[in-house]
Chain A
Amino acid sequence: AQSVTQLDSQVPVFEEAPVELRCNYSSSVSVYLFWYVQYPNQGLQLLLKYLSGSTLVKGINGFEAEFNKSQTSFHLRKPSVHISDTAEYFCAVGPNSGTYKYIFGTGTRLKVLA
């Protein structure tokens, strides 16, 4: 069965510092990976996705993620965060063959400090 683990429930970081949000997945077949961001009282918005091809994926708002098959990871990074990046971030794995279900991690709350 597929699963997604986000090890850090909260990550505090100072403004203009780099940040990495960790995501590990478990899947026995091809994977489709996603990062979403959720601002307070809003729905989720797609940050970036990995479907195939280059393992380094660039997304919106200066975020990027690297797909690492050997370590089954898809960590999200940003070289310099802003106050406006304060939000909750969710990693998700897309459906395997024969299913339509996306599996989400429990989320990482990023708090950017002035």
Chain B
Amino acid sequence: DAGITQSPRHKVTETGTPVTLRCHQTENHRYMYWYRQDPGHGLRLIHYSYGVKDTDKGEVSDGYSVSRSKTEDFLLTLESATSSQTSVYFCAISESRNNEQFFGPGTRLTVL
């Protein structure tokens, strides 16, 4: 299994609070991605990174920001959490642009 972990695995927070999710990899892969998974929507890309300090927006980036200061860590921040951001968040990594992605175990976030 690819060495990819997410923390925390579960979190309950209140509307309006900031939340940071962490993705950590030990594979030295260049590309990292944050997705959210919601029933009926499959996986939707929030942000991705193609190198240290190189990030870009996905299709559902509003309300989210990311940072990648070193190869192994990719942080996702919800600046002011809303109930619509209640979801399961997955991190993925990829060694090259067109090869398969490896997924972390997910973080279940509930915003009350």
Contacts and interface: CB of A to CB of B under 8 A. Distances in A.
Interface of A: 6, 9, 32, 34, 36, 41-46, 49, 51, 90, 94-95, 100-102, 104-107
Q: Which 7 A-B pairs have the closest CB atoms?
A: A43-B103, A106-B42, A104-B43, A44-B103, A104-B42, A32-B98, A46-B100
A105 B99 CA distance: 17
A42 B48 contact: no
Contact of A44 (B40, B45, B58, B90): B90
B34 interface: no
A44 B102 CA distance: 8
A108 to B, nearest CB: 10
Interface residues of B, number: 26
B105 A49 contact: no
B104 to A, nearest CB: 6
Interface of B: 31, 33, 35, 40-45, 48, 50, 56, 58-59, 90, 92, 97-106
B99 A51 contact: yes
Contact of A94 (B42, B43, B98, B103): B98
A113 B31 CA distance: 39
B100 A100 contact: no
A106 B90 CA distance: 15
Nearest to B56: A100
Given A43-B90, A43-B106, A51-B98, A107 B48 contact: no
A24 B103 CA distance: 23
B105 A43 contact: yes
Contact of B97 (A49, A90, A100): A100
Contacts of B102: 46
Most buried by A among B56, B58, B100, B101: B100
